[in-house]
Amino acid sequence: TSRARMAGHISPWFVLLGFNLFCIIAATGYLMGVTQSKEYAEPEWYADIWLVIVWIVYFVLYIRTLARRNEPHIYVANWYYLAFILVVAVLHIVNNLAVPASFGAAKSYSAFSGVQDAMTQWWYGHNAVAFFLTAGFLGMLYYFLPKRAERPIYSYRLSILSFWGITFFYIWAGSHHLHYTAVPEWVQTLGMTFSVMLLVPSWASAGNALMTLNGAWHKVRDDATLRFMMVAAVFYGLSTFEGSFMAIRPVNSLSHYTDWTVGHVHAGAMGWVALITFGSIYALVPVLWRKQTMYSWKLVEWHFWLALGGTVVYVFAMWNSGITQGLMWRTYTESGTLAYSFTDTLVKMHPYYIARAIGGAMFFVGAVIGAFNVVMTIRSVGHQAQQLDYPTGSEANEPAVPAAE
């Protein structure tokens, strides 16, 4: 997107190998029980410091590459990736502020405690969703969907307004996870208000993506890769609406701690994050390995329907399970005692958990098929392109068309 090589020869390898080393350090620490005992089981201080070093090199590498670009237009996708890199660094540093017990021991003590720690945790947790699981993947959406559809972004101005709206509003929304707790009520209300306001820039991005497909819906019908991206945009709009709705205090009193939250999270994780990732992989793999097309477009179709079907089954099961849980937990007898025991609610969950397992299995099988297709595409020799109406081969190397107003 910059028409330039990445800056530096050593730093890209340092980021790649350094981040994977962090993953190994963190994973082995979990197995040994070496964590900060926070909400997200953060790795200890030595792993945190190493990740900060790697991430700062990543940020500098990205800025240097943008600075040496030969493409005068900075794509919207690059704005989102910049926000992803920068804000995740800020979140990680603040949330993991800690004092080591000694430099010869893994143990450390958090800089926050009590309500302050809860506030910091959910400021971090919700913005990890915002800038790790939203901004980076919106970057994929804003590049790969117009590229695959061979259509300019419907509105460049709308995409920039949406970017700044998401970047500003998301930062304030984390306290909606702390309704009915010791957090001051005005803080809860602030989080709820910004969560509702967040619907506007979020739907602007989803709508911008779908409007980009005007004049290209026949490609959506014929091209499963583009269909992955289109359905991802739909799930993004659905998940952001649901998130804003669930942040409203009376709704949250029913949904919190139930499987409704699990359904909401997986509508975003499977329906939005995973589907746009699958679509981006299918668009990119033939280009990276100089193939004319994927090994099998039938397998791409199979993957699409298994992923979509698995997501729908999973999410609907958790929605039903969660609402049933919430209603049973707040049902009282005439004497003011709970009408249902924990075991009663668990029995009611059983059919929904079976459905959840089926949906998850469908999704997993689709992912395995996708991985097989990617491996076979890479290994294939002299694989010829099918006669398709969407860009393949060298055409896909060209940058996306700058937006038209």
Q: What's the CATH code of the domain at 336?
A: 1.20.210.10
Mean pLDDT of the region 45-61? 92
Confidence of residue 220 (pLDDT cuts 50, 70, 90): very high
CA angle 59, 63, 65 (to 5 degrees): 115
Domain assignment present for 375: yes
Confidence of residue 282 (pLDDT cuts 50, 70, 90): very high
- Euclidean distance between CA atoms 109 and 243, whole angstroms: 33
Contact in structure between 131 and 101 (CB atoms under 8 Å): no
Which of 315, 205, 195 lies closest to 245 in space, CA to CA? 195
CB atoms within 10 A of CB 168: 13
Q: How many domains does the chain have?
A: 1
Domain assignment present for 339: yes
Which of 388, 387, 75, 1 lies closest to 225 in space, CA to CA? 388
Mean pLDDT of the region 4-10? 89
pLDDT of residue 107: 76
- Euclidean distance between CA atoms 49 and 61, whole angstroms: 19
- Specify the 3-state DSSP secondary structure of 280: helix
CA distances in angstroms from 90 to 87, 243, 244, listed in the order given? 5, 23, 24
- Euclidean distance between CA atoms 296 and 317, whole angstroms: 32
Domain assignment present for 178: yes
**249-284 burial string, b = 16+ CB within 10 Å, else e?**
eebbebbbebbbbbbbbbbbbbbbbbbbbbbbbbbb
Domain assignment present for 33: no
Domain assignment present for 391: yes
- Specify the 3-state DSSP secondary structure of 162: helix
Secondary structure element (H or E) that encloses residue 243, with its range: helix 224-246
CA distances in angstroms from 235 to 34, 243, 294, 403, listed in the order given? 36, 12, 25, 24
Q: Which amino acid is at 74?
A: I
Domain assignment present for 151: no
pLDDT of residue 102: 73
Mean pLDDT of the region 96-102? 80
Confidence of residue 37 (pLDDT cuts 50, 70, 90): low
Mean pLDDT of the region 2-19? 93
Domain assignment present for 38: no
- Euclidean distance between CA atoms 158 and 404, whole angstroms: 12
- The residue range of the domain holding 241 is 170-397
Which of 387, 392, 267, 381 lies closest to 319 in space, CA to CA? 267
The 10s digit of each residue's pLDDT in 131-169 is: 988 999 999 999 999 999 999 999 989 999 999 999 999
Output DSSP code: residue 33.
T
Confidence of residue 308 (pLDDT cuts 50, 70, 90): very high
Task: Tell me how far the alpha carbon of residue 383 is from its chain's centroid.
Answer: 33
Helix residue spans in 247-341 (DSSP H): 249-255, 259-266, 275-288, 297-329
Domain assignment present for 267: yes
- Euclidean distance between CA atoms 169 and 191, whole angstroms: 9
